[in-house]
Amino acid sequence: MSALEKSMHLGRLPSRPPLPGSGGSQSGAKMRMGPGRKRDFSPVSWSQYFESMEDVEVENETGKDTFRVYKSGSEGPVLLLLHGGGHSALSWAVFTAAIISRVQCRIVALDLRGHGEDVGNVVEAMYGDLPPPIMLIGHSMGGAIAVHTASCNLVPSLLGLCMIDVVEGTAMDALNSMQNFLRGRPKTFKSLENAIEWSVKSGQIRNLESARVSMVGQVKQCEGITSPEGSKSIVEGIIEEEEEDEEGSESVNKRKKEDDMETKKDHPYTWRIELAKTEKYWDGWFRGLSNLFLSCPIPKLLLLAGVDRLDKDLTIGQMQGKFQMQVLPQCGHAVHEDAPDKVAEAVATFLIRHRFAEPIGGFQCVFPGC
């Protein structure tokens, strides 16, 4: 796992914005631009892909936490989508459009801090003591959280589990180079368009359609910078997280403050989450993950960008038929963003095969035994 690199009928929703120059081609397809045509890096609102957005309040020992969820669908099992580190629920936008067109299901994409107990508490807050059938689907760190949530039985109505491009062995190896990767990223961006363009050209997100909605959830305005009016409707659906200062930290000197303000004026956007500060949690997210995944007594699906990502435990488990696996080549780490239609097809096939959901729109299950 490389660090963080890695149609539908919308009914009453506005139509999905087409890929520039794509002629309505499938999500994730390569774009061939004609002479003189430029790709559109402008941001797109969440409302193009989700039916609704709401804030769910969860009580804790000191008060309440608020979690933002994006929802679509009204029938079938709930697909509870957990994003990867540094991403947001908006990374599931294009996948949501694709899966809703294939099977009867409900989508709940959750902005989370990365704790399994959060997932269980949000489910309880949303559905009470009688939650509907739920399938957990998590990408990268979100996949690890999904496995821990399932292992601790925090979702009593859980019927299935899916991890996307996260494997203990390769994840633990990748942690050694994570800080170097983070230091190599731009610290600020001149605009949302600039951030979206960087994400596509750097390969972090290889699908421009997804990048235009997803990157809005990864960056935020620098403090003290007024938001351009044109960006208000795009960023209004994002909850800002409070950052705790490190113990013993001191205020920077006046010159540094002035330099920072000049930088912010020229580059008013920065990363929403400072991933480098979460390093102490990285080991806990992934250590022991493979055996936890294998021990969950529910149908399981593993989607990978490359077969080389399998570690020993999962290789043995896959040979023993303990889970279904599918490799989606020519994708980066953000598999569900790079190839949302292929991921939706794999998930829909899994749901139909296990009789968890009914197909719609003429979708045909291609897996033997469906």
pLDDT digits (tens, 9 = 90+) for 291-327: 999 999 999 999 999 877 788 899 999 999 999 999 9
CA distance linking residue 233 with residue 216, whole number of Å: 11
Q: Measured between alpha carbons, how far is residue 159 from residues 55, 80, 206, 256, 298 in Å?
A: 25, 11, 31, 53, 6
Give 161's contacts (C-beta < 8 A, 6+ positions apart): 135, 136, 146, 147, 150, 293, 296, 298, 299, 300, 301
Comparison of pLDDT for 366 and 219, the residue scoring more? 219
333 is an active site residue: yes
CA distance linking residue 188 with residue 198, whole number of Å: 11
CA distance linking residue 90 with residue 104, whole number of Å: 21
Percent of the chain whose pLDDT exceeds 70: 75
pLDDT digits (tens, 9 = 90+) for 94-140: 999 999 999 999 999 999 765 667 899 999 999 999 999 999 999 99
pLDDT digits (tens, 9 = 90+) for 235-252: 444 444 444 444 444 444
pLDDT at 247: 46
Sort 181 into a burial class: Cβ within 10 Å, 0-12 / 13-18 / 19+: middle
**Tokens linked to 264:** 């912010």
Give 250's contacts (C-beta < 8 A, 6+ positions apart): none
pLDDT at 229: 44
For tokens 């113990």, the residue is 247
Q: Kindly state the average pLDDT of the residues 14-26.
A: 39
Please identify which of the residues 101, 140, 151, 231 carries the catalytic annotation.
Answer: 140
Are 158 and 132 within 8 A, CB to CB? Answer: no
Sort 235 into a burial class: Cβ within 10 Å, 0-12 / 13-18 / 19+: buried
Cα angle vertex 329, ends 325, 330, to 5°? 155
Q: Kindly state the average pLDDT of the residues 164-176.
A: 83
Sort 222 into a burial class: Cβ within 10 Å, 0-12 / 13-18 / 19+: middle
The residues pairing with 139 across neighbouring beta strands, listed in sequence order, are 164
For the chain, list the strands marked E by DSSP. 52-59, 64-72, 78-82, 106-110, 134-139, 158-164, 188-189, 219-221, 269-271, 300-304, 324-327
Residue 225 has pLDDT above 70, yes or no: no
Q: Which of 99, 52, 45 is nearest to 77 (CA)?
A: 99
DSSP letter for 74, please: S
Q: Measured between alpha carbons, how far is residue 198 from residues 138, 185, 202, 220, 251 in Å?
A: 25, 10, 6, 15, 31
308: left (phi over 0), alpha (psi -120 to 50) or beta: alpha
Comparison of pLDDT for 8 and 135, the residue scoring more? 135
Q: Which of 116, 86, 284, 298 is nearest to 182 (CA)?
A: 86
Are 197 and 41 within 8 A, CB to CB? Answer: yes
CA distance linking residue 367 with residue 333, whole number of Å: 24
Buried b vs exposed e over 120-129: b needs ≥16 C-beta within 10 Å?
A: bbbbbbbeee
**Tokens linked to 6:** 């890695």
Please identify which of the residues 333, 336, 338, 341 carries the catalytic annotation.
Answer: 333
**Tokens linked to 167:** 């494997």
**Tokens linked to 121:** 């508490």
CA distance linking residue 370 with residue 350, whole number of Å: 9
CA distance linking residue 202 with residue 96, whole number of Å: 24
pLDDT at 86: 87
The residues pairing with 300 across neighbouring beta strands, listed in sequence order, are 161
245 is an active site residue: no
pLDDT at 11: 31
Q: Which of 236, 213, 205 is nearest to 68 (CA)?
A: 236
CA distance linking residue 274 with residue 105, whole number of Å: 34
Please identify which of the residues 111, 118, 165, 341 carries the catalytic annotation.
Answer: 165
83 is an active site residue: no
pLDDT at 278: 80
